[in-house]
Amino acid sequence: MASLKLAQHQHAEALPLLMRSFAHYRQAGVKHGVDECFELLANLAQAQGQLERAAWGWGVLATLEQEMGKVLPASVKAAREATLRALQAQMPDELFRAALAAGRCEPLANAYRVVLADEARLT
């Protein structure tokens, strides 16, 4: 549902739905589905101009997908690379690389805490 709201540019409505999904997957202790949440988070942050958070989210997602052994179809990989290039073009290169690297190094349990704490702070 969060992805539908994001596609409709209803960001304020997408965020609470996304946070519920994060909480659900965290409680269930599974990784499958969490990857989609981090992808949505990165896209939502990017759409809202939260560029560091977006780069961090893409970094978390990259590590998570690697840990899961997920192989992206060529079309999805190309679209993601274009999204990352667009994000990088909006930020100082050093800041982009640092945020992406921070996300890649973030253990999943910590990433959950960061996301859910940020949501609690913002609401």
Q: What is the structure's pLDDT at 22?
A: 85
Q: What is the structure's pLDDT at 121?
A: 56
Q: What is the structure's pLDDT at 7?
A: 84
pTM above 0.75, yes or no: yes
Q: How far apart are CA 87 and CA 14, in angstroms?
A: 20
Over residues 38-55, the mean pLDDT reads 94
What digits encode the pLDDT tens for the residues 6-29?
Answer: 888 888 888 888 888 988 888 888
| Contact of 48 with 6, CB cutoff 8 Å | no
What digits encode the pLDDT tens for the residues 50-100?
Answer: 999 999 999 999 999 999 999 999 999 999 999 999 999 999 999 999 999
Residue 45 predicted with pLDDT over 70: yes
Q: What is the structure's pLDDT at 15?
A: 86
Q: What range defines the domain where residue 103 resides? A: 2-122
Instruction: Select from 8, 2, 1, 29 the least CA-distant residue to 112.
Output: 29
Lowest mean pLDDT among 35-39, 53-57, 116-120: 116-120
pLDDT category of residue 44 using cuts at 50, 70 and 90: very high
> What are the backbone dihedrals phi and psi of residue 46, each rounded to the nearest 5 degrees, phi first?
-65, -40
Which ranges of the chain would DSSP assign to H, the alpha helix?
Answer: 2-7, 11-28, 34-47, 51-68, 74-89, 93-105, 108-122
The number of domains in the chain is 1
Per the prediction, the chain carries an average pLDDT of 91
